[in-house]
Amino acid sequence: MLEQRIQQQFFEGADLQYQTAEALARPIADAVNAIVSALTAGGKLLLCGQGGGALLAQHAPRCWSAGSNANARRWPR
């Protein structure tokens, strides 16, 4: 009984991820293309947030730029 409930949770989670992938793949790809187009044309990408979103807005560019700078501090993996 308990194992069946656990399996059901996994199945429902997988189904939700599948539905999300179907619904969001195109909008995410469009957003990525817009960002790449703006950056390659010399534009900027401005990130902001409040609370936890602010932390992500500060952290994401550091992760992205670390690969382009040989002297950048790398996060332990």
What DSSP assignment string belongs to 13-70? HHHHHHHHHHHHHHHHHHHHHHHHHHHHTT-------STHHHHHHHHHHHHHHHTT-T
Q: Please give the Cα distance from 74 to 55 (Å, whole number).
A: 18
Residues 20-65 pLDDT 10s: 999 999 999 999 999 999 989 999 889 999 999 999 999 988 887 7
pLDDT (0 to 100) of residue 62: 83
pTM, to two decimals: 0.64
Instruction: Please report the sign of the dihedral spanned by the C-alpha atoms of residue 26, residue 27, residue 30, residue 35.
Output: negative
Report domain extents, the chain.
Answer: 1-44, 46-77
Residue 52 φ/ψ, nearest 5 degrees: -65, -35
Tell which wins on pLDDT, 3 or 67: 3
